[in-house]
Amino acid sequence: MKQSSDVDGQVVLPSKDVVVAPSQPIATSDGDQLPAALPDSAVRKSISWRRVGLALLIIAGGAGGGLYWWLHQAPALPIGIAAGNGRIEADPIDIATKFAGRILELRVDEGDRVTGGQVVAVMDTRDLDASLKKSESQAESAKRAIAEARANADQAHSQVVLAQQQIDRAKSLLIDGWVTKEVYDQRQQALEGAKAGELAAQERITEAEHALDAAKHDSELYRVNIADNTLVAPRDGRIAYRIANTGEVLPAGGRVFTMLDIGYVYMDVYLPTLQAGRVKIGDDARLVLDAYPDNPIPAKVTFIADQAQFTPKMVETQTERDKLMFRIRVRIDPDRSKAHGDSIRSGLPGMAYVRTDPKVEWPARLQVKP
């Protein structure tokens, strides 16, 4: 530190509390110059103005956000219309095997749209095909056995006719004394034996016909089992998940696909007691999805829970005090949901509006567009 002297020649050291502010630029070792420090009052004034500007900026931002919220908030609903939020859902359907077997072919994949009756997978049915051929061969054998039994029955009937004629002649000859009683008895026994043979032939025909029926039933059973190993979509919908792959061996009931039934699309919402008590099955409703806020979807109330329950955590309510709620199911018309099946995605969030008073008109924003 550089020393300084007073007028009397005494050495006076500068105090540590004294700040020496150069009034001229300070030269650095490489020739550059640093700007002179501002006075303390100027620094405080600059900081004060910055704080004021920051505060004004925060106030303006809050005012702008409030104005935006006020301009974009949904108008209040009229009395007679209740609202609740939820997620749109479509009934899931598992397409599974009826019998244990190996997957031979998959004809659709995840995301594909399918129609009712469309083949989606084929199982390996070589064992069933062999069993079907065996039963069909047994049926042919039974047909030949029936033909043979009928021929034997015709022969037995001829024997009965002959025996009857012989005993008739023996009877007339016995009266005239031309034959003995022994001959007559022999003819009588021959007739009874021919009748028994005819009856046995008829029984063999019946047995062969039953064998044919059994073979036909077996063939029909194998055909049904083969058909059941061709997996089809039970309804119109969309494949949501592919669970198994080609070549995999599945047990009976093994799932191959899970599809969404686009003919049964709904939203479950929860309403408090006062609102739920006014809802009836068949009441008009509107669904407004977040993805399509300007396209309200017409729907109907199809289910009302008969017991209140605690609100699930994933469902938000307007007030914390609404703890016990009633579950209401609002379903889209099947024809409409099928017509717009490409836009249906399970899980889309939105709002459901239920009209509890049929005299109340729907607000303009909930009017269904043609």
Q: Mean pLDDT per segment of 10 residues, for the chain of length 370 residues?
A: 43 43 48 50 62 69 55 65 91 94 95 93 95 92 88 83 80 74 78 83 88 93 95 93 95 95 92 88 92 90 86 53 79 85 80 91 84
> Which structure tokens are listed for 150?
């009928």
Name the one residue in this structure whose structure tokens are 């069933």.
Answer: 128
User: How many whole angstroms from its chain centre is CA 264?
Assistant: 9
> Which structure tokens are listed for 283?
């009441």
**Amino acid code (one letter) for 109:** D
Calpha distance 47→39 (Å, rounded): 13
Calpha distance 66→299 (Å, rounded): 34
Calpha distance 352→86 (Å, rounded): 7
* Strand ranges in 201-254 using DSSP code E only, listed in sequence order: 230-232, 237-242, 249-250
Question: Which of these, 238, 202, 216, 249, lies nearest to 90 by C-alpha position?
Answer: 238
Tell me what pLDDT residue 216 has: 93
Query: Cβ contacts of residue 58 below 8 Å, gap of 6+?
Result: none
What Å distances lie between residue 208 and 33, 145, 154, 177, CA to CA?
123, 6, 16, 47
Determine the number of helices (DSSP H) and then strands (DSSP E) in the chain. Answer: 5, 17
Query: What's the longest Cα–Cα distance across the chain?
Result: 197
DSSP secondary-structure letter at 364? G
